[in-house]
Amino acid sequence: MRSDSRAPLGLTLGAAAGLLFLHVPILLIFLYAFTTEERTYQFPPPGLTLKWFAVAWNRADIWPPLYLSLQVAAISTALALVLGTLVAAAMSRAKFFGRDQISLLILLPIALPGIITGMSLRSAFDVMGIPFSTWTIVLGHATFCIVIVFNNAVARFRRLSGSIVEASLDLGANGFQTFRHVILPNLGSALLAGGMLAFALSFDEVIVTTFTAGQQSTLPIWMLNELVRPRQRPVTNVVAIVVFVTTFVPVLAAYYLTRGGSETAGGGK
């Protein structure tokens, strides 16, 4: 007797409705990046054009926020890769009193609402007399980027058998050689995926940036300001497409990189 593996019709329709609810607004942004109308969202659009891409390219006020967003995301990701990996190694290999509670504290920044994190950081910078700059934005973003890298790295560390490290040391490798030739190859895809996710989250972060940027403007902040005081709405939609692609590609790559994460040396032994 052959079993029917197809999902019930109601479940299929519900899944389709959920996907439409999530993605139709994004598709509308894409559509209105090509509209000939500058200020209204008439549906269907009166016409389609590519001129807004050229207008966006020539808008001088877009490039500084874009460069700042890329700079902040790159530095925050680099910090997260170093600190997140070190914390993951300590939490996965060492056993000490209160380890679970410390793990909770590490995960807390990404679990808290962004407005709480932003307000806390702003208050801390004010108390310490730290002027708002690119580095205050980086510190704000690093609080949740470290968690992203930590989650990926600690999961891979826990699947990595400690016996291969002991075997490497027994064969005469020093600590650096063991890390380079044994640990890093097994962690590589997890760290790369965590770094890509951290970069994507940092690039499009709005709430924490609002509290830590001072007078500076990242690309998402620029978009928010343009929506409040619209001049050329299709240009904002064009920039939204750029942000979407810049964040979607790393997330998709991270997904494919971590699909085979269980295939680590000594995994399960």
Structural domains in the chain, sorted by start: 62-235+245-258 (1.10.3720.10)
pLDDT at 115 > cutoff 90:
no
How many Å apart are CA 247 and CA 78, to the nearest integer? 17
Q: How many CB atoms lie within 10 A of CB 73?
A: 27
Predicted model pTM: 0.78
The residue among 221, 203, 222 whose CA lies nearest residue 141 is 203
pLDDT greater at residue 48 or residue 239: 239
How many Å apart are CA 197 and CA 104, to the nearest integer? 20
pLDDT at 1 > cutoff 70:
no
Identity of the residue numbered 243: V
User: Which residues are within 8 A (CB) of 269 and not within 5 positions of it... i.e. 6 or more apart?
Assistant: 161, 163
Using CA atoms in the order 207, 208, 210, 215, what is the torsion angle rounded to 10 degrees? -160
State pLDDT tens for residues 126-153.
888 888 888 889 988 988 888 888 888 8
Identity of the residue numbered 69: S
Instruction: Please report the pLDDT score of residue 268 as a whole number.
Output: 43
